[in-house]
Chains A and B, each alone.
Chain A
Amino acid sequence: SYELTQPPSVSVSPGQTARITCSRDALPKQYAYWYQQKPGQAPVLVIYKDSERPSGIPERFSGSSSGTTVTLTISGVQAEDEADYYCQSGDSSGAYVFGTGTKVTVL
């Protein structure tokens, strides 16, 4: 298996841009996915296949991939975006690998 490493925390002022990275330490590359999780709630998928946004997810959420790093960008951060964010990928068996998680704080 492999690991996905995220920064423990990111702080951002309202209206600014938050960027959360997720680094893979091994190949082969699989798509990356991003979840938002608020306290006491189940995770919510906000980005799939590196950069696609599910219906109902605000346009301010976007994803990108470059080499072994994927990035979740939240443009024009709002107070409601304060949450934990997890990247996720997988292996050939269908198992999930989750990132270490990033707490986004809106100042």
Chain B
Amino acid sequence: QVQLVESGGGVVQPGRSLRLSCAASGFTFSTYAMHWVRQAPGKGLEWVAVMSYDGNNKYYADSVKGRFTISRDNSKNTLYLQMNSLRAEDTAVYYCARGDYYGSGSYSSSIWGQGTLVTVSS
């Protein structure tokens, strides 16, 4: 079945790095844009980053620009998020989500992973 499984979360000290992975299965990964979305404890959804299907285009939220890097390996059906210079405010559940195109330049996500918790604390 169509599935996204995140991994790599954990507890990390401020200023350190962490890399998240998202393994895709059940669909042709290389034909979809992919997103990272996060949710701080008790807060709403916050979009983090998107990468085009071929890896040629990527965009970031201002809150993570210059610190986080999105990448993908289409041969491994895997999406990554390299998170550097982590801050306490990066503490959140991180979800990967498939970018489904609905026309007129509009995207949404019908497929989400279960999320992985990142806690930034000393």
How many A-B pairs have beta carbons closer than 8 Å: the answer is: 74
CA separation between A101 and B45, bound complex, in Å? 8
Known: A42-B115, A48-B102, A95-B50. A88 touches B44 (CB 8 A): no
Which residues of chain A are near B102, meaning CB under 8 Å?
31, 48-49
Interface size bracket, B side: 20 to 34
CB of A96 closer than 8 Å to a CB of B:
yes
A residues apposed to B, CB below 8 Å: 30-31, 33, 35, 37, 42-45, 48-49, 54, 84, 86, 88-90, 92-101
7 A-B residue pairs with Cβ-Cβ distance under 8 Å, sorted by A, are A43-B112, A45-B108, A93-B59, A96-B35, A96-B108, A98-B45, A100-B44
10 shortest interchain CB distances as A-B pairs: A96-B47, A33-B108, A42-B112, A101-B44, A31-B106, A98-B45, A93-B59, A45-B110, A94-B50, A30-B106
B residues apposed to A, CB below 8 Å: 33, 35, 37, 44-47, 50, 52, 57, 59, 61, 95, 99-100, 102-110, 112-115
